[in-house]
Chain A
């Protein structure tokens, strides 16, 4: 058996004395796309931040293995270099940092961490152009400061474009569908699907089933009160859409 890309064992995490993750168990084998669905406030974004290594959260118990290696002691930049990518629910606007400067810094930092040489400027431009074309990210957007003045849809497209450029082994997409109209949803989904290559794994977080019509998952997990309470195939998402999360309330307690 090959090593799963992601393995989370009994993960507990808290923020400001409050326990949010209460024993998450999850295994994502190579090439699979898993969806996590759950109510607002159930801890989905917390899980994504804990995976990416945000400082504010304290892991009190459990283990996270990325390609078989524990990442709990790694800094966020080291996790990224190890192959983790988080598409943010709310991408951060950073005035004064040019998008192109940022993209180049990110790509080259990761290459350096992996012992690879810097990308030449023409190669970099070509890669950006290709990724941009696929996600309708035009050069006008790339000239602006990072995410500044981007609409909701533009921010999400820019996130997926970054993912296309950084080629992670595990992509965590946190509510990538929120704030998207149907056209934008299609562009984003197409971009994501183009990155499904049988090796790359994905964790798609959403609380609407809608996204999963476009990005069809191999496994669906229901998240409630800080843990996974049920798993199934893509039909589970349809059931959830019809019945809501009420059945799971209190179950986790």
Chain B
């Protein structure tokens, strides 16, 4: 739909349009030309007005030679990396893992500008074919190095029937005003058991966008955990689709937001067939003047009877100046379902704090214990010990920093 008045385009949009046109993504370029970046008048961007938040887009990043260390090291993990959009040569893959490359974007087309830009600009994607019980954590380390750069990169992962795997994707890079637009496409075969953790540890100047799309076949079990702990502006889309009976997804996420930061997790879970379930659970912790957003939409298709899904967002405010925003949405076309949503927001509980202090635990340590306690529900289910510890380390690091 063409708006009655042409939208005034800013520097960010002009750069994007040129980059999209150069990449041959004319449709997306046209979309940005006509509508600009989404503003808060676009329902899905109501709390994250990209036109205001993203003033400039840097040039497309050039392949980088330098490789700074990875953001998190998980002992024993099989590590792969994508630097400035280029898939790096990897060490010999463990059994059951086939590493490859595909060309172009990986996401299913949808009415979303960031998704369009991802598909339009992604040149090559890292592909993984996974089969069997894979004990080693697979880590995909996305980095944007050097001068400020715009990067669109992607991973496309197929997990065979009855297979199990833990995948960690980390996002970091040099301290510059990067824009990252990352896509992950995961297809889970029948009864596959997958844990997929994505962690943003970008610099404060970075804008981090990510879209995780999941397709679950019969009996597949997915646990996702998104952690925003770095970039000044972060938005991750989670789009799980339950496509086979018995499929279940624990869709979880954590916004750790400090002074001046804005973090947004936007989920849309589709229950396409009968007898599937999902348990979306998100937490946001804010300090300073900052903003955390969680939007959660549950879509239940017309014949997807017996769907069981409950969305929950819990906020913890460590300062008075922060904003924590929740937007639950239910779009239910079946009649025999159990669906719900809830959200809570509060400060650290004074009585709990006093109890810990009264046992001799100093205030800072007691607060840390309570914050850790608040997010234990998200971290504890990550069973791989090394990964669990690494995630706990990120949270502790955030608590110590400012």
Residues of A that sit less than 8 Å from B by CB: 52-56, 75-77, 79-81, 85-86, 88, 91-92, 94-97, 101-102, 105-106, 109-110, 113, 145, 162, 166
Contacts and interface: CB of A to CB of B under 8 A. Distances in A.
B361 A97 contact: no
Interface of B: 350-352, 354-363, 365-366, 369-370, 372-377
A76 B358 contact: yes
Given A96-B372, A96-B377, A97-B370, A102 B350 contact: no
Given A97-B369, A109-B362, A92 B355 contact: yes
B160 to A, nearest CB: 36
Contacts of B355: 88, 91-92, 94
Contact of A76 (B352, B357, B370, B372): B357
A80 B358 contact: yes
B365 A109 contact: yes
Contact of B354 (A55, A102, A106, A166): A55
A100 B207 CA distance: 40
A106 B372 contact: no
B360 A80 contact: yes
Contacts of A92: 351-352, 354-355
B363 A110 contact: no
Contacts of B377: 96
B359 A80 contact: yes
A109 B350 contact: no
Given A76-B358, A80-B359, A92-B355, A105 B365 contact: yes
Contacts of B362: 77, 109
8 contacts: A77-B363, A80-B359, A80-B360, A94-B356, A97-B376, A109-B360, A109-B365, A166-B360
Contacts of B376: 95-97
A54 B376 CA distance: 27
A75 B357 CA distance: 8
B361 A105 contact: yes
A152 B317 CA distance: 31
A94 B361 CA distance: 14
A-B complex: 6 closest residue pairs judged by Cβ atoms? A96-B373, A80-B360, A96-B376, A76-B357, A106-B359, A110-B360
Contacts of B375: 96
A53 B360 CA distance: 12
A109 B372 contact: no
Nearest to A92: B355
Contacts of B366: 77
A203 to B, nearest CB: 15
Contact of A77 (B360, B373, B374): B360
A29 B365 CA distance: 34
